[in-house]
Amino acid sequence: MTNEVQPYQRIVRDVREKIVSGQFTGGEKLPSTRDLATEHRVSPGTVQRALAELRSAGLIYSHQGSGSYVSDSASKTDLDPTAQAIKALETQVERLAARLDRIESRLDD
């Protein structure tokens, strides 16, 4: 069994390092999915997976049709992997709670 890093994880690490180093700053638009796929020699789907992880970590946000941007708070975010995992879980719990509230309100009607 190998501990090789998955291609999407390399992209996550690369973008995270560029944010930490200040190469990417808050509000800055990231390269397009196509450009990132070309740069990292992966499929656009692999880039999308990396972007989803970066969004879950609160490092970027996306606008459909416009692209992905570095979060203003990204440079202030604790980039420790454990803290990121906790933040991602908190975000998921908040979303699930909101969905549950909507479902319950429909059942009450």
CA–CA separation, 44 and 68 (whole Å): 14
Count of C-beta atoms within a 10 Å radius of residue 57: 21
Write out the chain's pLDDT in tens, 109 residues: 455 789 999 999 999 989 888 899 989 999 999 999 999 999 999 999 999 999 998 899 998 889 999 998 776 555 566 666 777 777 788 888 888 888 988 888 7
Q: Please state the pTM of the whole predicted model.
A: 0.66
